[in-house]
């Protein structure tokens, strides 16, 4: 068994520098239902990893297994290089999490709630508690409103307070399950900017969501779940590059454009009115446009469109978004 990490080590110092989270055939079965079916998750250290999938696809169950809240039926996993659950205490001391919404004492202020949480942590240093609480509140932008009772806070403030709680001690990994769920646009922007600032400090962030626009703005890597299975993962650019690009040409000289592009080996050519489409077979865009221009083809629009993250998501999960009960 690998030696336990020093809990006082600086954030970003991991026994395994490649992955902050790594699973091997991780499986969870409830009765006859395989909620999570043998997934091999790889979350690179220092990344913002978007864990995508329709509601009911197994994301939250996976996260609960990663954090030791649910025992896996099969497979294994490591957090920050530590095998779980053998080194659960050592690993989770460096992990902050927000799972299924914030939960605090409604009659207490945000600051008082954080005091209680910090006092309950056997590893926290009482001598530095006040400063760490103020730093955490400042980090999430809640210091001016820290006196407000929790029940009087907006949903966005509650989410940020939960993230502040996760940051009371230094963390290498932050796990957020649907952190923008139910937030208005302003609250969503606040959480998005906060995640960006955490990533800039070298903290790995695993963020579960079904909001594609948000994931695309803040994540460097994604994993896509469908019906309990991990159907794709990698950097966003790598995954988009696996999708077939399409050449789109708007021209009043469609017939002539077809002839030129066919001669250059563009596949799947089709013309509808003044729009010509096809599939480039590795030809550089500048060569195609230059050839069209040299042949006298007048161009209103020339583009090679690569599928969006939404196109990729739909192709992987299906438009019906299979949801498990």
| Per-residue confidence (pLDDT) for residue 8, from 0 to 100 | 38
Cα separation of 293 and 262, whole Å? 15
Is the pLDDT higher at 193 or at 273?
273
Select from 3.30.70.100, 3.40.640.10, 3.40.109.10, 3.40.50.150 the CATH code of 246-305. Answer: 3.30.70.100
pLDDT in tens, 217-267: 889 999 999 999 999 999 988 887 777 888 999 999 999 999 999 999 999
Establish how many alpha carbons lie within 13 A of residue 86's alpha carbon, considering only the half-sphere containing its beta carbon. Answer: 12
Is 324's pLDDT higher than 50? no
Q: How confident is the model at residue 71 (pLDDT cuts 50, 70, 90)?
A: very high
Q: How confident is the model at residue 322 (pLDDT cuts 50, 70, 90)?
A: very low
Taking residues 55-73, report their average pLDDT.
93
| Per-residue confidence (pLDDT) for residue 317, from 0 to 100 | 76
pLDDT in tens, 201-211: 889 999 998 77
Is the pLDDT higher at 66 or at 102?
66
CATH fold, domain 19-241, is Rossmann fold (3.40.50)
Q: What global pTM score does this model have? A: 0.77
pLDDT in tens, 19-50: 999 999 999 999 999 999 999 999 999 999 99
| Per-residue confidence (pLDDT) for residue 188, from 0 to 100 | 81
pLDDT in tens, 166-214: 889 889 999 998 887 777 788 788 888 888 888 888 899 999 987 777 7
Domains of the chain, by residue range, sit at 19-241, 246-305
- Under DSSP, is residue 113 helix (H, G, I), strand (E, B) or coil? helix
Cα separation of 177 and 59, whole Å? 8
């Amino acid at each position: 068994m690998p030696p336990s990490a020093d809990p006082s080590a600086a954030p970003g110092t991991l026994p395994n520098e490649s992955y902050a989270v790594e699973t091997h055939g991780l499986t969870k079965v409830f009765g006859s239902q395989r909620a999570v079916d043998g997934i091999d998750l790889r979350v690179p250290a220092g990344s913002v990893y978007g864990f995508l999938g329709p509601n009911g696809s197994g994301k939250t169950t996976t996260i609960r297994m990663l954090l030791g809240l649910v025992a896996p039926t099969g497979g294994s996993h490591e957090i920050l290089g530590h095998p779980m659950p053998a080194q659960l205490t050592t690993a989770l001391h460096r992990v902050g999490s927000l799972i299924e919404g914030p939960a605090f004492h409604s009659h207490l202020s945000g600051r008082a709630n954080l005091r209680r949480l910090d006092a309950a942590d056997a590893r926290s240093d009482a001598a530095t508690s006040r400063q760490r609480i103020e730093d955490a509140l400042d980090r999430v932008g809640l210091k001016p409103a820290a006196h407000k009772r929790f029940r009087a806070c907006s949903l966005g403030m509650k989410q940020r307070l939960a993230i502040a709680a996760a940051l009371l001690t230094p963390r290498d990994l932050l796990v957020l399950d649907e952190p923008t769920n139910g937030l208005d646009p302003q609250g969503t922007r606040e959480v998005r900017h906060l995640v960006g600032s955490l990533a800039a400090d070298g903290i790995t962030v695993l963020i579960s969501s079904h909001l594609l626009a948000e994931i695309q703005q803040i994540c460097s890597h994604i994993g896509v779940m469908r019906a309990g299975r991990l159907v794709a993962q990698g950097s966003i650019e790598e995954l988009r590059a696996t999708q077939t690009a399409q050449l789109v040409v708007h021209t009043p000289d469609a017939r002539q454009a077809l002839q030129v592009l066919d001669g250059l080996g563009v596949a799947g050519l089709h013309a509808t009115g003044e729009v010509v489409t096809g599939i480039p077979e590795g030809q550089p865009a500048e060569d195609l446009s230059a050839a069209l221009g040299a042949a006298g083809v007048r161009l209103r629009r020339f583009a090679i469109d690569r599928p969006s993250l939404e196109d990729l998501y739909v192709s992987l999960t299906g438009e019906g978004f299979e949801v498990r009960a």
